[in-house]
């Protein structure tokens, strides 16, 4: 049995920790049974955004007439769109794997693994151990228990990102960010979209005003069916039939040539046999860690989607910095600072947010003031004709620090960063209000939302 100083399971953000530890002279093993680079590079944020940019371009073309530009005879080369994306991500992933084939430390084990004893791991035909272990195994799509929902009937986001034939009709089960982004991608390129969601709004975890407006916009574009539970699914020839029912007993029956399940994600911890090494997981299977990312077993850490705090790549990257410090320098551990952890939904319109939502502030009994400013009430908002976009700020009346920011509209994922700097630094909203903003840049909508609080 070979012993290492550190074993890292997973090659997403865990790869950063493995490389940094090896550079400090530790003997490191990294285990990755799949493509190098983790979910984000291979099946998540990077390929999805490459594809979605094509959809964004199509949205611009479709609205060109409003700006006096007539575009005719637009055609879609769907296969080329997918090939471009896969060519980029597959090349990047292979380059990472090839790089590890040329070095001895970290040593790559390209196999499935599981614990067989306390801090002892079986991987391939070998058994390895280390006093320090980092688990960064991520998540996978969750599949609801529905009659007839067999493997050959549906696809998940994993397969959706690699389809070579564009569906004519796509039915999506789910109403979160994955459903929203893929509805935008396929729908903007001409696929008819059905969204079946058991909740009464899409993006229900967003601020209530954002989710309500987003649901309204998507309902104008696509066939959005809310409050429905899927009862059964069947496939005959190339057609997929789906039956759903709402709380009033109303039955919905739909047919499509593709069925996408986007009903959340579940952790991969169940593949590791963690009980053999004594690591605890919660009722959903996420690994339980403390403020330092250490599990109940001394020396075993976890990060990223595997711990379920924030299912974002940028969160995992942040955690990787702390994990490295806390693993290599256990005598000076530092608690992870998640202040102003942001997120974005790359749909059309975009959504971005950080901090508390208004409903969370009410539930916690936290006093707040708020302001909202519409894109269309700024010069650039008028120029781009964004009729629905807005910025919403939630502020403490005591010290005027920003409790939350929520944006719906064009470039929301970019606009929010000005607010993030203020939140992370603990500054008041007045700093944004008093900062001179370029006129007529779209960022004026953030400034005016802040100024409205004065």
Element (H, E) at 2: strand 2-9
**CATH number for the domain including 420?**
3.30.390.30
Mean pLDDT over all residues of the chain?
95
pTM: 0.95
Q: Name which of 376, 375, 356, 378 is nearest 366 in CA terms.
A: 356
Residue 405 bridge partners (DSSP): 354, 393
- Is 438 part of any domain? yes
> How many angstroms separate the CA atoms of 169 and 151, rounded?
19
Has residue 59 got a pLDDT over 80? yes
- Is 169 part of any domain? yes
Q: Name which of 63, 16, 19 is nearest 383 in CA terms.
A: 63
- Count other Cβ atoms within 10 Å, centred on residue 252: 16
- Is 340 part of any domain? no
Please report the beta strands in 168-295, taking only residues with DSSP state E, as ranges in sequence order.
Answer: 169-173, 192-197, 223-226, 228-236, 239-246, 251-256, 258-261, 265-267
- Is 134 part of any domain? yes
- Is 328 part of any domain? yes
In terms of domains, do 196 and 289 share one? no
**CATH number for the domain including 91?**
3.50.50.60
**How do residues 348-406 score in pLDDT, each as one tens digit?**
999 999 999 999 999 999 999 999 999 999 999 999 999 999 999 999 999 999 999 99
CB of 375 within 8 A of CB of 386?
yes
In terms of domains, do 23 and 136 share one? yes
> How many angstroms separate the CA atoms of 23 and 5, rounded?
13
In terms of domains, do 133 and 27 share one? yes
In terms of domains, do 328 and 367 share one? no
In terms of domains, do 134 and 9 share one? yes
Q: Which of 263, 296, 319 is the last residue of a domain?
A: 263
Tell me what the mean pLDDT of segment 184-193 comes to.
98
In terms of domains, do 404 and 298 share one? no
Q: Confidence band (pLDDT; 50, 70, 90) for 151? A: confident
> Is the pLDDT higher at 152 or at 143?
143
- Is 247 part of any domain? yes
Q: Give the CA radius of gyration of the chain.
A: 24
- Is 149 part of any domain? no
Domain of residue 427: give its range. Answer: 349-451
Region of poorest pLDDT, from 88-97, 234-243, 339-348: 88-97
3-state percent breakdown (helix, strand, coil) of the chain, nearest 5: 35, 25, 35
DSSP secondary structure string for all residues of 22-48 = HHTT--EEEE-SS-TTHHHHHHSHHHH
Element (H, E) at 215: helix 208-221
Q: Is 70 exposed, middle or buried (0-12, 13-18, 19+ CB in 10 A)?
A: exposed
Has residue 136 got a pLDDT over 80? yes
In terms of domains, do 240 and 298 share one? no
Q: What pLDDT score does 44 carry?
A: 83
Token code pair at residue 368: 């707040």
- Count other Cβ atoms within 10 Å, centred on residue 56: 18
In terms of domains, do 111 and 29 share one? yes
Distances 378 to 383, 386, 390 between C-alpha atoms, Å: 9, 10, 10
- Is 145 part of any domain? no
Q: What pLDDT score does 39 carry?
A: 82
Q: What pLDDT score does 99 carry?
A: 86
Q: Confidence band (pLDDT; 50, 70, 90) for 89? A: confident
> How many angstroms separate the CA atoms of 361 and 359, rounded?
5
Q: What pLDDT score does 45 carry?
A: 87
Domain count, the chain: 3
In terms of domains, do 406 and 319 share one? no
> How many angstroms separate the CA atoms of 384 and 380, rounded?
6
Q: What pLDDT score does 101 carry?
A: 78
Please report the beta strands in 278-401, taking only residues with DSSP state E, as ranges in sequence order.
Answer: 300-302, 342-345, 351-355, 369-374, 390-395
For the sheet containing 251-256, what is the strand order? Answer: 228-236, 239-246, 251-256
In terms of domains, do 250 and 115 share one? no
Region of poorest pLDDT, from 41-45, 127-131, 186-190, 261-265: 41-45
Q: Which of 247, 263, 279 is the last residue of a domain?
A: 263
Has residue 255 got a pLDDT over 90? yes
Q: Which of 332, 358, 376 is the last residue of a domain?
A: 332
In terms of domains, do 257 and 303 share one? no
Give me the percent of the chain exceeding a pLDDT of 90. Answer: 91
In terms of domains, do 374 and 313 share one? no
Backbone angles phi, psi at 4, to 5 degrees: -115, 165
> How many angstroms separate the CA atoms of 321 and 190, rounded?
42
Q: Confidence band (pLDDT; 50, 70, 90) for 35? A: confident
């Amino acid at each position: 049995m070979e012993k290492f100083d550190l074993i890292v399971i997973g090659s997403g953000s865990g790869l950063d920790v493995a490389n940094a530890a090896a550079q400090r002279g530790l003997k490191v093993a990294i285990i990755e049974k799949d493509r190098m680079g983790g979910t984000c590079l291979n099946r998540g944020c990077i390929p999805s955004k490459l594809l979605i940019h094509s959809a964004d371009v199509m949205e611009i073309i479709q609205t060109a007439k409003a700006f006096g530009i007539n575009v005719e005879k637009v055609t879609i080369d769907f296969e080329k769109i997918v090939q471009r994306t896969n060519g980029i991500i597959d090349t990047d992933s292979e380059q990472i794997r090839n790089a590890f084939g040329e070095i001895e430390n970290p040593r790559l084990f390209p196999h499935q693994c599981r614990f067989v004893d306390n801090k002892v791991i079986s991987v391939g035909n070998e058994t390895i151990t280390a006093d320090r272990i980092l688990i960064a195994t991520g998540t996978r799509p969750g599949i609801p228990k529905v009659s007839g929902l067999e493997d050959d009937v549906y696809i998940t986001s994993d397969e959706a990102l690699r389809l070579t034939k564009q569906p004519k009709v796509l039915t999506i089960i789910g109403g979160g960010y994955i459903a929203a982004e893929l509805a935008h991608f396929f729908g903007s390129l001409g696929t008819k979209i059905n969204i079946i969601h058991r909740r009464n709004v899409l993006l229900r975890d967003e601020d209530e005003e954002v989710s309500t407006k987003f649901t309204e916009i998507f309902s104008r574009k696509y066939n959005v069916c809310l409050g429905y539970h899927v009862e059964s699914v069947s496939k005959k020839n190339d057609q997929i039939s789906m039956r759903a029912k709402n709380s009033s007993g109303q039955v919905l029956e739909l047919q499509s040539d593709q069925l996408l399940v986007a009903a959340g994600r579940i952790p991969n911890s169940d593949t590791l046999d963690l009980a053999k090494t004594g690591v605890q997981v919660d009722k959903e299977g996420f690994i339980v860690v403390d403020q330092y990312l250490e599990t109940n077993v001394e020396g075993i850490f976890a990060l990223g989607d595997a711990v379920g705090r924030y299912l974002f790549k940028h969160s995992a990257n942040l955690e990787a910095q702390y994990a490295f410090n806390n693993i290599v320098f256990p005598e000076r551990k530092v608690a992870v600072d998640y202040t102003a952890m942001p997120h974005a939904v790359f749909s059309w319109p975009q959504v971005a947010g950080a901090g508390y939502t208004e409903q969370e502030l009410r539930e916690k009994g936290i006093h707040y003031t708020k302001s909202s400013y519409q894109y269309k009430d700024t010069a650039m908002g008028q120029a781009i004709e964004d009729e629905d976009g807005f910025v919403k700020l939630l502020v403490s009346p005591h010290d005027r620090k920003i409790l939350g920011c929520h944006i719906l509209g064009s470039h929301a994922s970019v606009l929010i960063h000005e607010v993030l700097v203020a939140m992370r630094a603990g500054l008041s909203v007045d700093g944004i209000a008093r900062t001179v903003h370029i006129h007529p840049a779209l960022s004026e909508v953030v400034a005016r939302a802040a100024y409205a609080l004065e």
